[in-house]
Amino acid sequence: MGLNIELAGIAVEILEPLPYLIEHCAQWQTDRTPEWAITTGPEDLEREKEAAEGDFSTGYLQMLAVLRKFCLQASQRGILLFHASALQIDGKAYLFTAPSGTGKSTHARLWREAFGSRVTMINDDKPLIRLENGRFYAYGTPWNGKHRLSTRTSAEIAGICFLAQGKSNVIQPLSGREALPALMTQIHKPESAEGTRDYLMLVSRLAQTVPVWRMECTISPEAAQLSYQTMTGSRAE
């Protein structure tokens, strides 16, 4: 028996899902007819085990395998997997990205503390982004990091910020040429030749159409105020 879920507007069927996957994907279940099916076998789980380099449950490994297989086909539909913390405020999505452990989740938390109920977490670790009618949207997914912060929602992306730890708060815009190689380090690259072609086109378009910044910041309310004001063009309230 399969499990039908919706990811970035695409309905897919996961065949022979384990209880761990069923639990973690509950929010994304759908009655829509799936566009394709995802099967995971022992070889897929072994691959994820080797890549993860840790002692993880079979259910967790199946979750990783499902995501990998979804991404194999998703770029052909204008969908990419972004390593970022994505939130929504006043109807727009803002993404914070950085190498693991740098503080993207912490900065998103500072926004939640500063702006309260105006902020909705889209996904705290692995949102999907999709090109739709010339605009990029961020979507929540079940792959949401150690804090399990994600919702089945989406919003148009109004800005992306690369974070680095600093002794003061400084934010600067990146040109499309500067943004492209930085984005490529944080967006999952498909393994097929066709997927790579679509990936390059999508990332290039993202760099040219969505404002991108680089910010050195402290863990402080002032950091959230500065990034908010810069990225939204509004004074923090």
**237 has pLDDT over 60:** no
Tokens at residue 104, please? Answer: 């993207």
pLDDT tier for residue 235 given thresholds of 50, 70 and 90: low
**145 has pLDDT over 90:** no
Nearest to 121 by CA among 146, 171, 77, 155: 155
Q: Which amino acid is at 120?
A: T
Nearest to 74 by CA among 24, 115, 129, 123: 129
Please, what's the b/e burial string for 99-124 (b: 16 or more CB within 10 A of its CB; e: otherwise)?
A: eeeebbbbbbbbbbebbeeebbbbbb
SS3 58: helix
Calculate mean pLDDT across residues 114-139.
Answer: 96
Encode pLDDT of 158-177 as tens digits.
999 999 999 999 999 999 99
SS3 206: helix
- Residue 97 contacts residue 69 (beta carbons within 8 Å): no
Predicted local distance difference test score (pLDDT) of residue 206: 96
Tokens at residue 204, please? Answer: 């290039």
CA–CA separation, 219 vs 163, rounded Å?
Answer: 11
| pLDDT mean across residues, the chain | 93
pLDDT tier for residue 181 given thresholds of 50, 70 and 90: very high
Edge-to-edge strand list for the sheet holding 36-38: 2-7, 10-15, 36-38
Residue in this structure with the two tokens 């990783």, named with its chain if needed: 64
The enclosing H or E element of 155 equals strand 154-165
Nearest to 128 by CA among 81, 191, 90: 81
**193 has pLDDT over 90:** no
CA–CA separation, 169 vs 219, rounded Å?
Answer: 9
Predicted local distance difference test score (pLDDT) of residue 52: 82
Calculate mean pLDDT across residues 8-19.
Answer: 96
Determine whether 176 is exposed, middle or buried from the number of CB atoms within 10 Å of its CB (0-12, 13-18, 19+).
middle
